[in-house]
Amino acid sequence: MMAKEERARALNAQLREEAEGGGYHLNPDQGWTLGLASGLLVNEERYGYRACPCRLASGDRASDTDIICPCDYRDLDLHEYGACYCALYVSDEVLRGERELRPVPERRPDKRPSPRVASTAVGVRLWRCRVCGYLCAREHPPGVCPVCRAKADRFEEFVLPPSALPGG
């Protein structure tokens, strides 16, 4: 029993450290994140992967890659709601107490496209950190550059010349 609690505490501390190092924030409520860390360990034991504790995993990793923590929806939910679906991660505004933490509606589609194909030309925006050149493909720039810690306003949208696109 103690071993499980200790493992959850260790994971909680590790996730917090990794989040801060990558420009993210874990929920400041330690009790909340400890509970979710326990849930992640339960899911790892049950299914073999750390599925989001607030979603029902299928047991089939290939069907659930989008909900393995950190899930595919984290950054969109952080941007729109100030927290990820299970509220393990929170935004700067929530951390500073400028935004209320509220439950996040489920955005995971009931039917997901399969096979999953990353789009380079349609639907995905590219952002470039003007300070260090870090590039990422996502709907909004990250709050903080995970490489050099520059703030979101130091990012610019990176537009590929048509000649660089497939068929261009």
CA atoms of 69 and 50, how far apart (whole Å)? 6
Q: How far is the CB of 98 from other proteins (least distance, A)?
A: 22
Closest CB to other proteins among 36 and 150? 36
Binding segment toward other proteins, per CB under 8 A, in 5-13, 41-49, 123-131, 158-166: 41-49
- Footprint of other proteins on residues 86-105 (CB under 8 A)? 86-87, 103, 105
CA atoms of 37 and 42, how far apart (whole Å)? 9
Binding segment toward other proteins, per CB under 8 A, in 35-43, 93-101, 133-141, 160-168: 35-43
**Per CB under 8 A, does 55 bind other proteins?**
yes
Report phi then psi at 127, rounded to 5. -125, 140
Binding segment toward other proteins, per CB under 8 A, in 49-57, 65-73, 123-131, 133-141: 49-57
Report phi then psi at 13, rounded to 5. -65, -40
Cβ neighbours of residue 42 closer than 8 Å, sequence gap 6 or more: 53
CA atoms of 66 and 55, how far apart (whole Å)? 11
CA atoms of 12 and 88, how far apart (whole Å)? 10
Binding site for other proteins (CB under 8 A): 32, 35-36, 38-40, 42-43, 46, 53-57, 86-87, 103, 105-106, 110
